[in-house]
Structure 1
């Protein structure tokens, strides 16, 4: 099992600080989540109904065309683990750095994982050389990237997809952090053969605990994924919460504005504390560090939990939820105790 953000119980035990006294900025999840309403009691008592309209809600949320299949999944993590089982062992490109569960899952399924770095994807003065794609059968891309926040424009991703698809290849795009920047989404192109887009309600909606997401794909991939996941992969209460949240467009507009403002504030806080900001998204900011774990431990000793990455050395900071938390982060970065 790979290490991830969160793990607050473990931090509380290690540092001897009660769980209630922590400021957890380690996960990149919206700290002001969508307000969950009361869940109808019957949803706890009945098996989920596949024809409850959720797939159409997902289509409207993402802007996917009618040619795309929309598959509800128990978090995009479920899709990350299932998709490698839909192909025979092949060569799979994985961005480095990036969310490590992708490479972990494809490797565990018997595929050959090939790290893809910025030097391969960068275009020069003479144009873009995409020949690196010819060694791959599948390319997984994370957009925006986690933890760097880098965004690849849709035109580039579609060019990559076309080159892969000429040989029956796949482009898998993980858009778990895309909701704050929907103009860069590939969902409007979903349904093209070999294009697979993963979406999540955990990050932007602040609903990580519900474990809900969606896969947008062509019918062949979608049908194979449904068979692999089996019946009722997403429970009735989760389907209800997901449908309600995705339909609340007014909340989504307000959340985007608030998140972009908070991301700007986080950059200023980090820079004021002497840290260069290497990248980020509307939900997190990343700073480079020669000793990321040491800095993470310094903050943890003050009850502030962040996510450390050793290769390359960096720390990822999530957003504070209120003025008290912003003040506490500023004090922790200054090495002071907040009374």
Structure 2
């Protein structure tokens, strides 16, 4: 790898949730900040306190097996043996690439990433040696060795048909390639759109825990893969990749089907309420999920600045200056957001 290129690829990427940076940009903004720059559920799962042994002892293998079983049932995976659990999905992509393509990984190979989407996917693919094509067209994906699709997509909420994804995975598999589907936001979409039950040599699925359950800080994610690959990933991650407190929280949340159903309904209601506030301010939603809304507007930068001065952080995209992604406020954030949007409308 060229050292200059490696250093460039290793540079930090702008993400949502950076309140320290927001404070630097808007030093006079009122606090506490309202962070709407992520797609994380503001209504966190109300887990019970982990037992003291979750902190004082190494995690037990039986607890990890139980977590994987609960996750497999929640996601509709073929079995717990098809899951590898990790401290977030970010760490899994390079391991998956090595498992499928070998130690040389992307050398001489191409990766197609349906974009715009998570910038980390392209960065990690480049670090693994792939030549990366970021494309807006699904039909461009089949010519690559590695294809990555986020479904539903972040930030625009595009949803790709299950049959199309499975057909693409079969085409890639026939030439030794792989389709990686990141279903980070699938919990708020009808389960019939997921491809998690169809994993095979040409298809691996990533699932995130923290976004829907509002617990991003517990760092928990899964690869759903053919059993040999899941076992290889688990071996590489080692026996204690998931901390004891995370095992406790994850098992409890996956079992709570009543909370999951009630939360899906609540998020749908909150997204409708947010759409109404944005429409009143003359901002029309053109995509998203019930965890975040996607706007295209020539005034996007001005809206970002105005809300930032009001202590409200939303997600902007330097490469797409007319785009904003806005997450849902928590219970205490609605009034401040409404007041800020109303003030923006009066001064537009």
TM-score normalised over the length of structure 1 = 0.90
Equivalent position to 2:271, from 242, 258, 263 = 263
SS at match of 2:149: strand
TM-score normalised over the length of structure 2 = 0.88
Map Cα deviations across residues 258-297 of structure 1 (whole Å, 9 max, x no partner). 0111112212211221112121101000111335344212
Equivalent position to 1:84, from 93, 97, 120 = 97
Shift of 1:7: 1.1
Equivalent position to 1:187, from 196, 210, 231 = 196
> In 2 relative to 1, CA 134–147 (structure 1 residues): closer, same or farther, beyond 3 Å?
closer
Shift of 1:55: 1.3
Task: Give yes or no for the alignment of 1:223 onto 2:234.
Answer: no
- Whole-Å separation in 1 of the counterparts to 2:172 and 2:231: 21
* Preserved contact between residue 150 and residue 182 of structure 2 (Cα < 8 Å): yes
| 1:307 alignment partner in structure 2 | 315
Task: Give yes or no for the alignment of 1:316 onto 2:325.
Answer: yes
Shift of 1:36: 1.9
| 2:4 alignment partner in structure 1 | none
| 1:60 alignment partner in structure 2 | 73
In structure 2, the gaps of 5 or more residues are 1-11
Deviates more, 1:284-293 or 1:202-211: 284-293
* Preserved contact between residue 97 and residue 311 of structure 1 (Cα < 8 Å): no
| 1:115 alignment partner in structure 2 | 134
* Preserved contact between residue 292 and residue 310 of structure 1 (Cα < 8 Å): no
> In 2 relative to 1, CA 68–133 (structure 1 residues): closer, same or farther, beyond 3 Å?
farther
**CA RMSD for the aligned pairs?**
2.0
SS at match of 1:97: coil
| 2:124 alignment partner in structure 1 | 105
- Whole-Å separation in 1 of the counterparts to 2:29 and 2:91: 32
Shift of 1:19: 8.0
User: 1 or 2, which has the higher helix percentage?
Assistant: 2
| 1:70 alignment partner in structure 2 | 83
- Whole-Å separation in 2 of the counterparts to 1:78 and 1:30: 22
* Preserved contact between residue 175 and residue 198 of structure 1 (Cα < 8 Å): yes
| 2:62 alignment partner in structure 1 | 51
| 2:305 alignment partner in structure 1 | 297
| 1:284 alignment partner in structure 2 | 292
- Whole-Å separation in 1 of the counterparts to 2:242 and 2:80: 23
